[in-house]
Amino acid sequence: MKSIHERTTLNNGVKMPWLGLGVYKAEDGREVINTIKEAVSAGYRSIDTAAIYENEEGVGEAIRQVDVPREELFITTKVWNDRHGYDEAIKAFEESREKLGVDVIDLYLIHWPVTGKFTETWKALEHLYKEGRVRAIGVSNFNIHHLETLLEEAEIVPSVNQMEYHPLLALPELHAFCKEKGIQLEAWSPLTRGRIFDDPIITSIAEKHGKSPAQIILRWDLQNEVVTIPKSVTPSRIRENAAIFDFELDQEDMDKINSMNKNHRFSGDPDTFA
């Protein structure tokens, strides 16, 4: 990958940027608007929000203010755990769409696999997709067994599975399963909020390439064919996170980072969180 504008082709033919901006914890209003404007100026075209982030209105306002056509932007949002079920999910989608102020959402995800409910919710997402109200549908925080349960009843295979993913949680079995099924893996919290920036493997590779630890980790994501959405509201970090297309990690670098996997989560476990 040589450019921030490169995209992966999802299983339905829709093209999604490899690198995007996550806006979790970005305050609605001026903060999230300015953050997105800075990101778009730096070349980002993908913005990832969710109903639970409570900043969809600010994301929508930013979409209207940036000097980029709507069709060049890729907007993701998600249905939260208290809105599962067919009718509730349809209503939740419309609420998000109205807050965002868009006719069509690019990617709509089930945020967490609420036990006994997510298959019914998926039927609602399939309906929205068939009606053309969303360009692609997917899931977030789904382990293999969740995906297997979903696929038993699904008419449409999810386009994306968004997971906590970083060098300490590389999810090799899940990644292989998703590849087999044609599901694009996407990383949330790829930078672990800086917790592994001082790891000697990461720092040595960063020194080798003259890059920051964050840039090394994000490049590792992309070379593993994982879409990544680092979050930041700091202009310098937003631009730093985007400056990962002028170098490549060699196989030795990749192997060293891959060896860091400990199946360690910093956030909720999909089997117990929802």
Residues with catalytic roles: 53
Q: How much of the chain is in helix, strand and coil states, percent to nearest 5?
A: 45, 15, 40
The sheet with strand 184-188 has its strands ordered as 21-22, 46-48, 74-79, 105-110, 134-140, 160-164, 184-188, 227-228
- The CA-atom distances, in angstroms, between 69 and each of 45, 48, 63, 211 are 10, 17, 9, 32
CA dihedral 138, 143, 148, 149 (to 10 degrees): -80
Q: Do 239 and 4 meet the contact criterion of CB atoms below 8 Å apart?
A: no
Tokens of 140: 């977030």
- The CA-atom distances, in angstroms, between 209 and each of 78, 196, 205, 246 are 36, 18, 6, 10
Among candidate residues 18, 25, 17, the one with its CA nearest the CA of residue 233: 25
Q: Which residues are CB-neighbours of 7 under 8 A, at least 6 positions away?
A: 15, 16, 17, 18
Secondary element (H or E) of residue 239: helix 235-242
CA dihedral 2, 263, 260, 162 (to 10 degrees): 10
Compute the residue count for the chain.
Answer: 274
